[in-house]
Copies of this chain bind each other. A is one copy, B any other.
Amino acid sequence: MKLKIAVLGGDGVGPEVTAEAVRVLRAIANVNGYEFQFTEAEVGGVAIRKHGSPLPEKTLHTCLESDAVLLGAVGHPEFDSMPRDKKPETGLLALRQALGGFANLRPVQAYAALSDSSPIKQELVFGADVMIVRELLGGLYFGEPRGIKDDTATNTMSYSRYEIERVAHIAFQQARNRRKKVTSVDKANVLECSQLWRLVVTEVAKQYSDVKLEHAYVDSFAMRLIQAPTAFDVVLTENLFGDILSDEAAVIGGSLGLLASATIGGEVDLYEPVHGSAPDIAGKGIANPVGAINSVAMLLRHTAKLEQDARLIESAVNAVLLDGYRTKDLVPSARKFNTTAEVGSAIERQC
């Protein structure tokens, strides 16, 4: 097994957490004799500072030459009032578009070891296991026209039948290997984009008669996700709704720092923890590396087809949490916590 992996640490805590994920991948490669080749490249604020662009040509080239991209996080307040082409997030969005992955898988589960960390009552989150499938290349993120003119700002939400179809297929395929239920989330009582979404998802569902489809409005879904997280299996939704709902779903596990994502369906697969750059805690060695480490487990699963090794990492994460390892985000008060590296190497040792 040979794999070329581009590592884009990005901003804030990004480099710290991707370093731990790479450490875990190296351990797996050593044990099994896999050849994983890592190439570092710059994206986001750090790339703007050095090269004047949030996605330099060289970075893009490195990514397109790779089998998978591991990205930490982008974003820093210093760019808040910059024009769009000088924003870290613009680099991430351009990269997503260039790599072509349109289905962003964001699994969320309640870790038994962490039942104390969730703000939701234990009996409600117990057993929760949700796979959010977020459309990643459409909607308000990319729609034209956009901009600010004459004191009026405009963004465009737009979806074609084709864009909806392809991500719906991914969701139903995921559901087939899980608990066979898809909840499609939209705002079809108001938005035409959602009406087309509902129509197309309903059509695609006919090809998956073993999977149950339900539709939900995004407003009431945002409530039900907290009231009854165990009621859901696969959640399929458009780009911005998926952005909001996946951060919200982090409360099920107890911390955004735990969540991983995989973006598939394009030329090159992209793996990112769901958390952001968290500039307030950057450089202190206290960020949670589990989101990044779970992301490389997804890399082994989806890009390398090494399901066993993916599970090995996931079990190691579980074991280490059960052992009581906790980064600061998982420790409510000012109690003792573990550093990023401590958690990373504990997981490495279990792999």
Q: Is the CB of A158 within 8 A of B154?
A: yes
With A155-B192, A223-B250 given, can you name 15 additional A-B contacts, CB distance below 8 Å? A140-B191, A146-B191, A153-B158, A153-B193, A153-B195, A154-B156, A155-B156, A155-B157, A157-B157, A219-B248, A222-B245, A226-B226, A226-B251, A241-B244, A248-B248
Which residues on B sit within 8 Å (CB–CB) of A152?
158-161, 196
| A64 CB–B CB distance under 8 Å | no
Q: Is the CB of A119 within 8 A of B154?
A: no
Q: Is the interface of A mostly helix, strand, loop or mixed?
A: helix
Q: How large is the interface on A (under 10, 10 to 19, 20 to 34, 35 or more residues)?
A: 35 or more
Encode A77-111 as 1/0 by CB contact (under 8 A) with B: 00010001001010001000000000000000000
In the bound complex, CA of A244 to CA of B186 (Å) = 11
In the bound complex, CA of A197 to CA of B193 (Å) = 23
Residue of B nearest to A152 (CB): B160
Kindly name the residue among A80, A84, A193, A218 whose own CB sees the greatest number of chain B CB atoms within 10 A: A193
Encode A133-144 as 1/0 by CB contact (under 8 A) with B: 000000011010
Residue of B nearest to A223 (CB): B247
CB distance from A93 to the nearest CB of B (A): 7
Task: Please judge, given known A-B contacts A121-B120, A152-B161, A154-B158, whether A192 and B223 are in contact too, CB under 8 Å.
Answer: no
| A298 CB–B CB distance under 8 Å | no
Encode A246-290 as 1/0 by CB contact (under 8 A) with B: 111011000010000000000000000000100000000000000
Which residues on B sit within 8 Å (CB–CB) of A334?
none
Encode A181-216 as 1/0 by CB contact (under 8 A) with B: 000000111111111110000000000000000000
In the bound complex, CA of A83 to CA of B207 (Å) = 26
Q: Is the CB of A153 within 8 A of B244?
A: no
In the bound complex, CA of A99 to CA of B204 (Å) = 41
CB distance from A199 to the nearest CB of B (A): 8
Q: Which of B89, B121, B156, B193 is A190 in contact with, Cβ under 8 Å? A: B89
